[in-house]
Amino acid sequence: MLVFKSLSVFCLFSFLRLCASFDTITPSHSIRDGETIVSAGGTFELGFFSPGNSKGRYLGIWYRISTEVVVWVANREAPIGNHSGVLKVTDEGEIVLLNNTNSIVWSSNTSRAPASPVVQLLDSGNLVLKDGTGNNLNFLWQSFDYPCDTLLPGMKLGKNFVTGLEWFLTSWKSTDDPAKGECSIRIDTHGLPQLVVMKADIIKARAGSWNGLSFTGYGRSMPNPIFEYQFVLNETQVYFGFTLVNSSVFSRLLANPSGVVERLTWMDRTHSWEIYFTAQRDQCENYAYCGAYGICNANGSPVCACLEGFVSKSPKDWNSVEWSDGCVRRTPLECNRDRFLKYTNVKLPNTSSSWFNTTMSLEECEGMCLKNCSCLAYTTLNISGKGSGCLLWFRILIDMRVLSPGGQDIYIRLANSELDNIGKHGPSSKIKQAGIIVGSALLVMGILILGLILYLWKKKLCLKVRKKDCNHEGWNEDMELPVFDFMTIANATCNFSSKNKLGEGGFGPVYKGTLQEGQVVAVKRLSTNSGQGLNEFKNEVLLIAKLQHRNLVKLLGYCIQENEKMLIYEYMPNKSLDSFIFDHTRSKLLDWQNRIDIVGGIARGLLYLHQDSRLRIIHRDLKASNILLDDSMNPKISDFGLARTFGGDQTDAETKRIVGTHGYMSPEYAGYGQFSVKSDVFSFGVLVLEIVSGKKNRGFCHLDDSLNLLGLAWRLWTEDRAMELIDESISDMCTLSNQVLRCIHVGLLCVQQRPEDRPDMSFVVLMLSSEILLPKPRQPGFYMEKALPEADSSSTKLEPCSTNEITVTLLEGR
């Protein structure tokens, strides 16, 4: 009995000793691959792992609630090839990672040796080296000083000006490789420090400088119950970090391999990490998107504009939605006579060439800027409380955007004469104002009287000549388009010869023509039995006449005479997209690079319609036959007869007259007449999947099930067989499987059942042109899974059907 009691006491003592040291390593205790240590509170675990499909072994720290989330890796550049790794701390106080030959794979490179070295994993996720006989808070080395891709509460992003140590995040190369990727998040310490996202040595995005409440690029942060931000700037260091308000909540900041910064929070109800915030919200987040002296407004149309007093540097590129060249000053500065124009609610420009003072008032700041002819703008440094400090810019103003609500005020220097022209500031007497008002009133009255006289004259003329085509008068003047007479077009098309006929759509036949001066054109002739009439004709002319984009077909003029209504377009030698992708022979002419270029071009053209043109336009009939291809296979969106325009803040509308093409219509539009930009996004998603597969959404039979193309794409995606969707004619040539899968992924995101789940076109363009992490798609619209009794369940082959593409007009009864 005594022996049993002694043994029990020994076991209890050993258990307590084990519990007391399960979060530490000493020179007498190492851990091998397969063993781990756990922080005292059970939050974090340290051990060996292999990420994704990698066979290499790494030493890392991960959350115990979500073991796939690794927050720190020691040997991220030097994996161990087998399970022989050993982690230990030497008597000299250095943490080392050894392989099977006892070679050092990684070490802490500790500068001074403790008397009794102890390595401990803290419940913050920090792995520290300390002296077991001294102050436990006096760390000789800590993993928090060497972040990987994750910022945890208590960590720092910034720089120690005394030691030169810089704290920054670097993304993994991929989900299988934790080595340093191209993306990094750091504090740029030139001028006023600011938070930037870098790809290699190039700034990709910029959160901006700290204004006392938040980074200027994110507006004014509202207090939240999860975390609090910290920003410290003094003579010895600058850093940004955050602390948790509620210690029971888990939150982290991640730089993912796609170069996107995300804040993720663990949700107990779903047992998953959910994105609380992402830094890549829209195209205005792309650094210098509108170039020098340009300002970006994600809700504007177009997105980019020059600051007041500036004009586009390259007007031709600017009109083609190429804004990178930015703007230039319209009137040179005059130094002593210059004044300032105030902008409100903006993201402040890049501060790398700025100067700041923490004690000046705003008035003193203005005086300081005026005295220096090189000073371009000024603002308050700290907007918390009543505001304080001074911030000045001395080089170009770049990477500005409108933030509503939020943002900050900035005062931009302009020549005195320029401000007078703008009318924002400067002497303006009551007499001068009254004169402007009276003069304007007289001018408006004169225009109205003249307009009335012209209207009555034209009405009288129409009655006199009794021409049926006079109803187009009045909408011709605004378009600055040539009006062709009937005989000119008849001669150009050899009297509409069948040899010149290019095709026929819902509008009517399309002919190739050659004008007298030799220009080749395409003539779209409204047929008398067309479902589209004068309203659609007028709609197309009015809309497309005001559009200019390299991915939209160019309207050269029109003809309206007697019963004839014709549109004259630039000629597209390669005809329409459907003549390639749905033709077994010609589809081989479109390799994968051609197809992805076409997808990108259509996306940019649609983005222009939705957001960057002077009008917000919903196409409502986007399909393969309405995508024309020029001689270089560049896509151009055509046929705007069914398009609708939206006002500045309008996002959706309803109609009783449902028009469009089966297979491309979104569920909410086909079923209820509700349309929006997301209706076009759905049609675009169908197009993407058709371009990848070479099959029509309603133009094939799947032998297993009564699935349309969207249904088949969804099934193959959920079964990790998405590559089977690719067109057989290019499957042998296509080696870019990641790019193909990304394209299919984007297509499925666009055809989701609920319009609010679909991305807008700005995000679509971003997803196609970058490696941003994509959200998971939900079930597509019109997805019905019902087995056909006669189907052979062993086959997944796609067979052509007799189903034809038809444009429909449905009048819904009341």
pLDDT for the residue numbered 386: 85
The 3-state DSSP class for residue 71 equals: strand
The 3-state DSSP class for residue 58 equals: strand
| Nearest residue to 230 via CA among 169, 166, 153 | 153
Residue 663, amino acid: G
Tokens read off for 684: 């675009």
* Mean pLDDT computed over 45-67: 94
Return the minimum-mean-pLDDT range out of 187-201, 209-223, 644-658: 644-658
Sign of the four-CA dihedral 533, 536, 539, 544: negative
| Nearest residue to 46 via CA among 141, 136, 143 | 143
Q: What percent of the chain has pLDDT over 70?
A: 80
- Gap between the Cα atoms of 557 and 513, Å rounded: 13
pLDDT for the residue numbered 239: 97
DSSP annotation of 388 reads B
| Contact assessment for residue 655 and residue 718, using Cβ atoms and an 8 Å cutoff | no
Tokens read off for 800: 């052509």
The angle subtended at Cα 754 by Cα 750 and Cα 760, nearest 5°, is 40
Return the minimum-mean-pLDDT range out of 5-9, 215-219, 361-365: 5-9
- Gap between the Cα atoms of 346 and 630, Å rounded: 41
Q: If DSSP states are collapsed to H, E and C, what string results for 392-461?
A: EECCCCECEEECCCCCEEEEEEECHHHHHHHCCCCCCCHHHHHHHHHHHHHHHHHHHHHHHHHHHHHHHH
Q: Point out the residues that are catalytic.
A: 621
Domain 20-146 matches domain 578-811 at the CATH topology level: no
What residue spans define the domains of the chain?
20-146, 149-280, 284-422, 488-570, 578-811
pLDDT above 80 (res 277): no
pLDDT for the residue numbered 529: 59
Return the minimum-mean-pLDDT range out of 216-220, 221-225, 339-343, 570-574: 221-225
Distances (CA, A) of 203 to 147, 349, 506: 20, 13, 48
Residue 599 pLDDT grade (very low, low, confident, very high; cuts 50, 70, 90): very high
20-146 fold: Agglutinin, subunit A (2.90.10)
| Contact assessment for residue 265 and residue 251, using Cβ atoms and an 8 Å cutoff | yes
pLDDT in tens, 756-788: 899 999 889 988 988 788 889 999 987 755 433
Residue 260, amino acid: V
Higher pLDDT, residue 732 or 256: 256
> How many residues are given for the chain?
814
pLDDT in tens, 382-398: 998 888 999 999 989 99
| Nearest residue to 744 via CA among 705, 783, 781, 718 | 718
Residue 533 pLDDT grade (very low, low, confident, very high; cuts 50, 70, 90): low
pLDDT for the residue numbered 632: 87
The CATH architecture annotation of domain 149-280 reads Orthogonal Prism (2.90)
- Gap between the Cα atoms of 679 and 462, Å rounded: 41
Decide which of 1.10.3720.10, 1.10.510.10, 3.40.50.150, 2.60.40.10 is the CATH code for 578-811: 1.10.510.10
Between helices 737-750 and 677-693, what is the axis angle to 10°?
A: 150
DSSP annotation of 777 reads P
Chain-wide mean pLDDT for the chain? 82
Q: Which are the contacts of 84, defined by CB distance < 8 A and separation ≥ 6?
A: 33, 99, 100
- Gap between the Cα atoms of 116 and 114, Å rounded: 5
Number of CB atoms found within 10 A of residue 748's CB? 24
pLDDT for the residue numbered 114: 81
Q: If DSSP states are collapsed to H, E and C, what string results for 311-354?
A: EECCHHHHHCCCCCCCEEECCCCCHHHCEEEEEEEEECCCCCCE
Element of type H or E holding 378 = strand 377-379
Element of type H or E holding 47 = strand 44-49
| Contact assessment for residue 492 and residue 500, using Cβ atoms and an 8 Å cutoff | no
Decide which of 1.10.3720.10, 1.10.4190.10, 3.30.200.20, 3.60.40.10 is the CATH code for 488-570: 3.30.200.20
Helices and strands: H and E segment counts in the chain:
15, 49
pLDDT in tens, 535-589: 667 766 777 777 778 899 988 888 887 678 888 999 999 989 999 998 888 888 8
Return the minimum-mean-pLDDT range out of 100-109, 671-680, 740-749: 671-680
pLDDT for the residue numbered 75: 96
pLDDT in tens, 124-158: 999 999 987 765 667 899 999 999 999 999 999 99
pLDDT above 90 (res 713): yes
* Mean pLDDT computed over 500-521: 86
pLDDT above 70 (res 655): no
